[in-house]
């Protein structure tokens, strides 16, 4: 942790009411992936609410253990779905994180990522421009592709495949003079003023090219443009996840005869944004694929463990959660998903399992 300043529950004041409606019923215990990995009540929604309440009343001051409990939440929102009292636990945790950051209680990995975003526009501190990294020059077009930092600088195959699909479909699309969408910063509690500035920059860059439809291949960036941007800035264009775009297309695909596949719903695309059917509609266009849902799918899908800043700060917990999810795929040869974070985290936890984890866009590009 960085050096602590005085803790003030400024953001948490907004959720005093919500904190008081938790009845401690414990229904959230049956779903919370961080609790399943860590095993302590303090690493589950109910326990986190107790800690938050202690901060609100001043009976608790942030220490290393409290910070750890607040940052081991993947923000998967499965507890929100399960909670009979409708406690908005993810909002509470993110507001608590905002107060912790203001008090100087930010984890070093998160601080580095946020400082990098402030200085280079991406969490990795990469100096290459988007144009250099993606190999395309932005131009005026009705369709804009927001690749996101991970697909631009790390999971480059996802960005390459998405652009290749547009080319094969004959879509005149443009890449963008992007900066980070702000998801990492918002998830870890960085000051909203800086996040809103990124939002403004991105919207201005998109508007300047005359984009009418923005397409995204990252579930985290999509959630930002779909749900978070409209709270702070005007978004004067349609926002589509690539699977929503592809579900509308007449795709002629090569067969994948006899391959047993399943689909993992990214939390930010599914539970947060309600996009469950478009990826399944695209998968259904693949001839010969033997598709079977996992027991926990759509609203009840389990987290991959990679979100909410957990992968960077607590990689062991992230691997543990990912292993559970991979085991839930049973005898499938292929786990399809559509978020570079999920692909990275699940692939990293694969070990000697035979299952392959693929981003849907990469698969579709290969089959076109
Ligand atoms: S399910 Fe909701 S009301 Fe019950 S303990 Fe968890 S957060 Fe509290
Ligand atoms: S959002 Fe997910 S990880 Fe966080 S408390 Fe809720 S169920 Fe647990």
| Residue with CA nearest ligand 1 atom 4 | 25
pLDDT category, 9, cuts 50, 70, 90? confident
Find the CATH number of the domain harbouring 22.
1.10.1060.10
H/E stretch holding 331: none
Residue 324 and residue 361 share a domain: yes
Strand, coil or helix: 178: coil
Contact between residue 31 and residue 83 where contact means Cβ atoms under 8 Å apart:
no
Using the 3D structure, point to which of 77, 105, 133 is the last residue of a domain: 105
Q: Is 150 in the pocket of ligand 2 (CB under 6 A)?
A: no
CA of 303 to the centre of ligand 2 (A): 9
Residue 121 and residue 220 share a domain: yes
In terms of DSSP bridges, do strands 334-337 and 356-359 run parallel, antiparallel, or are they unpaired?
A: parallel
> Is residue 3 a part of any domain in this protein?
no
Residue 357: pLDDT over 60: yes
Using the 3D structure, point to which of 247, 276, 304 is the last residue of a domain: 247
Residue 195 and residue 139 share a domain: yes
What's the whole-model pTM score? 0.94
CA of 102 to the centre of ligand 2 (A): 23
Find the CATH number of the domain harbouring 339.
3.40.50
Using the 3D structure, point to which of 105, 139, 172 is the last residue of a domain: 105
Q: The domain containing residue 60 runs over which residues?
A: 12-105
Strand, coil or helix: 334: strand
Residue 264 and residue 241 share a domain: no
DSSP-derived letter for residue 143 is E
Find the CATH number of the domain harbouring 234.
3.40.50.1860
| Residue with CA nearest ligand 2 atom 6 | 79
Tally of domains within the chain: 3
| Residue with CA nearest ligand 2 atom 8 | 32
pLDDT category, 1, cuts 50, 70, 90? low
Residue 130 and residue 208 share a domain: yes
Over range 123-137, report the average pLDDT. 97
So what's the pLDDT on residue 3?
A: 53
Residue 237 and residue 299 share a domain: no
Residue 171 and residue 59 share a domain: no
């Amino acid at each position: 942790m960085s050096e602590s300043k005085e803790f003030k529950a400024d953001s948490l004041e907004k959720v005093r009411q919500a904190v008081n409606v938790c009845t401690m019923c414990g229904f959230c215990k049956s779903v919370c992936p961080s609790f399943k990995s860590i095993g302590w009540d303090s690493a589950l929604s109910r326990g986190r609410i107790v800690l938050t309440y202690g901060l609100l009343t001043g009976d608790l001051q942030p220490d290393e253990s409290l910070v750890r409990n607040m940052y081991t939440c993947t923000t998967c929102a499965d507890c929100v779905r399960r909670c009979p009292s409708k406690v908005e636990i993810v909002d509470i945790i993110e507001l608590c994180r905002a107060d912790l950051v203001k008090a100087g209680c930010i984890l070093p990995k998160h601080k580095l990522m946020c400082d990098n975003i402030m200085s280079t526009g991406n969490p990795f501190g990469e100096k290459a421009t988007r144009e250099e990294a993606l190999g395309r020059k932005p131009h005026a077009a009705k369709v804009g592709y927001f690749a996101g930092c991970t697909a631009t600088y790390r999971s480059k195959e996802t960005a390459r495949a998405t652009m290749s699909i547009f080319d094969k479909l004959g879509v005149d699309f443009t890449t963008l003079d992007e900066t980070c969408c702000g998801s990492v910063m918002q998830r870890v509690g960085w000051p909203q003023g800086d996040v809103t500035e990124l939002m403004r920059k991105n919207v201005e860059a998109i508007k300047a090219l005359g984009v009418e439809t923005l397409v995204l291949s990252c579930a985290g960036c999509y959630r930002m443009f779909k749900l978070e941007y409209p709270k702070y800035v005007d978004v004067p264009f349609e926002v589509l996840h690539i699977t929503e775009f592809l579900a509308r297309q007449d795709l002629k695909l090569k067969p994948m005869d006899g391959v047993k596949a399943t689909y993992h719903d990214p939390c930010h695309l599914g539970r947060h944004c309600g996009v469950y059917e478009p990826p399944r509609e695209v998968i259904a266009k693949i001839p010969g694929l033997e598709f079977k849902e996992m027991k926990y799918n759509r609203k009840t899908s389990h987290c991959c463990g990679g979100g909410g800043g957990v992968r960077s700060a607590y990689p062991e917990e992230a691997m543990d959660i990912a292993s559970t999810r991979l085991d839930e795929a049973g005898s499938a040869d292929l786990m399809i998903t559509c978020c570079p974070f999920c692909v990275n985290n699940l692939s990293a936890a694969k070990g000697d399992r035979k299952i392959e984890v693929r981003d849907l866009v990469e698969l579709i590009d290969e089959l076109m």
